[in-house]
Chains A and B, each alone.
Chain A
Amino acid sequence: EVQLLESGGGLVQPGGSLRLSCAASGFTFSSYAMSWVRQAPGKGLEWVSVIHVNGGSIYYADSVKGRFTISRDNSKNTLYLQMNSLRAEDTAVYYCAKDPIFLSQLGFDYWGQGTLVTVSS
């Protein structure tokens, strides 16, 4: 059974940093691209970032470019999102999502349960 378990969310002050983790199991993690998608309270879905299987291709939404860094450790079956210079508008539930073929026609076929990041003083 595919499982994605996010952790690392919490309350952080504006300008602060946080690192999210997504532990994967039930599939060959090293064979799939992975994305982060976020959802502000009461709002829709916003794609944040994607990383290819070996980290060779990485992309970000303009809203987080230069502040967030996606990475992965295939030996630990874990995806990360390092978030720096956090702003109030980054407040959201952050989901990791499995991507069958790098941003392809197949969509995101599995999602984690999400972790809440709140940026507030």
Chain B
Amino acid sequence: DIQMTQSPSSLSASVGDRVTITCRASQNIRSYLNWYQQKPGKAPKLLIYAASSLQSGVPSRFSGSGSGTDFTLTISSLQPEDFATYYCQQSYRTPPVTFGGGTKVEIK
């Protein structure tokens, strides 16, 4: 199975900050990488698919980049509603689909 490793596992940031979250795959997954946002007590929400495509309705301050084994989710200017946990997920060699361990973005 392909292992997905996210870093950091948590971070503290202020409103307006630029935030970057990294996801590394244990082998080449081309651009088969998706990003989700999850708020406490809520279901995950798809933000980015195919590494860099913005899901419909998602604000443009979210962006994704990368291919192969290294990927990045960037929030260009952190907003109060962006405090949440973010997960990456690979869909290249499936099954199984595998998720990263998550990155919790907290208020500084």
Contacts and interface: CB of A to CB of B under 8 A. Distances in A.
B95 A59 contact: yes
Contacts of A62: 96
B40 to A, nearest CB: 11
Contact of B100 (A44, A50, A107): A44
B46 interface: yes
Q: Of residues B45, B95, B97, which shows the largest number of chain A Cβ atoms within 10 Å of its Cβ?
A: B97
Given A106-B50, A107-B89, A95 B44 contact: yes
Interface string B34-62: 10101000111110011000010000000
A101 to B, nearest CB: 10
Contacts of B7: none
Contacts of B102: 44-45
A111 interface: yes
B94 A103 contact: yes
Nearest to B93: A103
Contacts of B91: 103-107
Contacts of A111: 43-45
Nearest to B32: A105
A107 to B, nearest CB: 4
A91 interface: no
Contacts of B42: 113
A7 B56 CA distance: 28
By Cβ-Cβ distance, the 9 closest A-B pairs, closest first, are A107-B34, A111-B43, A59-B95, A47-B97, A103-B94, A107-B49, A45-B99, A105-B50, A44-B102
Interface of B: 31-32, 34, 36, 38, 42-46, 49-50, 55, 87, 89, 91, 94-102
29 contacts: A37-B44, A44-B99, A45-B44, A45-B89, A45-B99, A45-B102, A46-B99, A47-B95, A47-B96, A50-B97, A59-B96, A61-B95, A61-B96, A103-B91, A103-B97, A105-B31, A106-B34, A106-B49, A107-B34, A107-B55, A107-B89, A108-B44, A109-B46, A109-B55, A111-B44, A111-B45, A113-B42, A113-B43, A114-B43
